[in-house]
Amino acid sequence: MGLVGGISYAWGVFVYPMMKAFGWSRAEAVLPYTVFMIVFTLTMFPAGRMQDVKGPRKTAMLGSLLFVVAYSLASLVGRFQSPWWLVITYGLIGGLGCGLVYASTTPPARKWFPDRPALAISIAVMGFGIAAMLFAPLKARHLIPTLGIPTTFLALGFITGGLGFLASLLVKNPPESFHVPARKGSSNTEDDIGPRKAIRTPTFWMLWLTFALVASGGFIVIGLVPVYGEQVLNLSPSRAALAISIFSFFNGFGRPLSGLLNDRYGPLMVMDVTYLLQAATLLAFPFLVTSDIPLYLASAIIGWSFAVTLASFPTLTALAFGVRNMGANYGLLFTAFGLASLSPTLASWIMGGSIDYSPAFIGAGILSGAGALVVIAMKRAGILHKR
C-alpha cells in the first residue's frame, strides 16, 4: 500500500512532457502535484480517524477505488487540455485516495509487532520511499514515450488501484485477544490519548516542529540538486539526475535500517545524530560540493535523513500517544510534512533567476540544525523514553 501511494507521488517525469505536449508553463505542469500534496496531507487526519474506527481494510479499499477514478478521469487530459482538469482529477481525487491508502499502512504494522515497532513501521513505509526510484524511470523511459500521457495515466490507474485493492484484502488489525509482550521502553503511555488531547500537549508541537523543520530543509535541497548539478557543476542531465536516484535509494532502502536502529537505540537518538549530520552537510554544501562525487554523497545523506524522518515519526506518535488513535494522531502530525513540501516552491521564488544556490543550501542547513536542537530539547526534557 505504501508503494501504491509512492507511485502517485512521483510526478516529476510528467512535467516536461506536458509542457511540450500541451504548451503549459512549468508552474501549470507542477500545479496538479502541488494540489495533490496539499489534499494528501489534509486527508491524512480524517483518513487516520477512519482507519482507527473502521479498520485499515475498508479505508484502503476506498482509497484504491479513488485511485482508479482519479487516473481514469486524468487520462482524458488529451481531450480537456487544461491543468485544472488534472488539478481536479489527479490533484483532488488522487490526493484523497493517497491519504486513505497511506493512512492505513503504519497503524496495523505497529499493532501486529509491538516487540519491534520501529522496524515494522519502517518496512511498511519503505514502499513509499522506493516507488519513485522504481517507477519514475518506467514512466519516463517506457510508458510516456510508448503510450503517451493520457494512456499512461490510465495504465497507472489500474496499477495503483489494483495493487492497492489486493493489498487491502490482506491487511487487518489483530484481534482483541492478540498479545505480544512489548520490549521495554516501547511505550510510555498507559492510556491512549486522542487527537483533541494530543494537540494540547507540548510533546505534539515539539514533534510537529521538528518534522516541519527537517523535512523543509531536505525538500529544499532535493528540489535543487539536479539543476545545481547541471548549472553549477556542469554535469550532463543524466549524471545530475543520478543524484535523485541515489537519494531515492537511501530514502527507500534506508528505512528498515532506520527501524532497526530506532528499536535498538531509540528514535530520538537516531534522529539527533542524523539531523546534525544533515545540518552539517547542508551548511557545507556550497563550499564542498564541487564535483559529482560530493553531490552524490550529499544526496545519500539527505536520502538517509528522509528515511529516518518518515520511519521515526509514526513510531514516536505511538510512543507518545498510544496505539488506539495512532491513525488520527499521525494524520495531524503529518500536516508538518505537507507544509514542508511547499518549501522548494518558496525557495525557488526567493531565488528568482539567480544561480547562486548558497543561501538556499545554508538556509536548509539552518532549518535542519534547528530541528536537531528541538530533538535535543525533547531528550533533555524527558518527555519521551530514550529507549
Reference 314, options 337, 336, 330; nearest CA is: 330
What residue has cell string 547541471?
Answer: 230
pLDDT over 90 percentage in the chain: 24
Per-residue model confidence (pLDDT) at position 211: 92
Confidence tier at 141 by pLDDT (50, 70, 90): confident
Res 366 pLDDT > 80: yes
Res 353 pLDDT > 60: no
Instruction: Compute the C-alpha angle 378/379/380, nearest 5°.
Output: 95
pLDDT tens for each residue of 213-272: 998 888 887 777 777 887 788 888 777 778 878 888 898 889 999 989 988 888 899 999
Per-residue model confidence (pLDDT) at position 7: 81
Q: 170 or 341: which carries more pLDDT confidence?
A: 170
Residue 246 · residue 299 · CB < 8 Å: yes
Confidence tier at 79 by pLDDT (50, 70, 90): confident
Per-residue model confidence (pLDDT) at position 190: 45
Per-residue model confidence (pLDDT) at position 182: 58
Per-residue model confidence (pLDDT) at position 352: 58
State the Cα–Cα distance between residues 131 and 353, nearest whole angstrom: 31
Q: 357 or 200: which carries more pLDDT confidence?
A: 200
Q: What's the CA dihedral at 205, 211, 216, 221 to 10 degrees?
A: 160
State the Cα–Cα distance between residues 176 and 153, nearest whole angstrom: 41
Q: Which fold has domain 195-381?
A: Growth Hormone; Chain: A; (1.20.1250)
Res 82 pLDDT > 90: no
* Residue 104: all three cell numbers together: 492505513
Res 100 pLDDT > 80: yes
pLDDT tens for each residue of 258-313: 989 988 888 899 999 999 999 999 999 888 888 889 999 998 999 999 999 988 89
List Cβ neighbours of 290 (8 Å cut-off, separation of 6 or more). 233
What is the C-alpha end-to-end distance of the chain, expressed in Å?
Answer: 29
Confidence tier at 89 by pLDDT (50, 70, 90): very high
Q: Give the per-residue SS3 of 75-143.
A: HHHHCCCCHHHHHHHHHHHHHHHHHHHHCCCHHHHHHHCCCCHHHHHHHHCHHHHHHHHHHHHHHHHHH
What residue has cell string 507540548?
Answer: 202
Confidence tier at 183 by pLDDT (50, 70, 90): low
Per-residue model confidence (pLDDT) at position 188: 45
pLDDT tens for each residue of 193-218: 888 898 889 899 999 999 999 988 88
Confidence tier at 12 by pLDDT (50, 70, 90): low
Identify the weakest region by mean pLDDT among 118-127, 172-181, 296-305, 345-354. 345-354
Identify the weakest region by mean pLDDT among 11-15, 47-51, 317-321. 11-15
Averaged pLDDT for residues 160-184: 82
* Residue 304: all three cell numbers together: 538517509
Averaged pLDDT for residues 170-188: 71
Mean pLDDT, the chain, integer: 84
State the Cα–Cα distance between residues 120 and 371, nearest whole angstrom: 25
Q: 64 or 353: which carries more pLDDT confidence?
A: 64
For the chain, count helices (H), then strands (E).
20, 0
Q: 381 or 320: which carries more pLDDT confidence?
A: 320
Instruction: Compute the C-alpha angle 360/362/364, nearest 5°.
Output: 70
State the Cα–Cα distance between residues 171 and 154, nearest whole angstrom: 26
Top-level class of domain 2-170: mainly alpha
pLDDT tens for each residue of 22-54: 888 767 877 888 888 889 889 988 998 898 888
Looking at the chain, which residues constitute the CATH 1.20.1250.20 domain(s)? 2-170, 195-381
Reference 283, options 301, 306, 264; nearest CA is: 301
Confidence tier at 189 by pLDDT (50, 70, 90): very low
For the chain, the residue count is 387
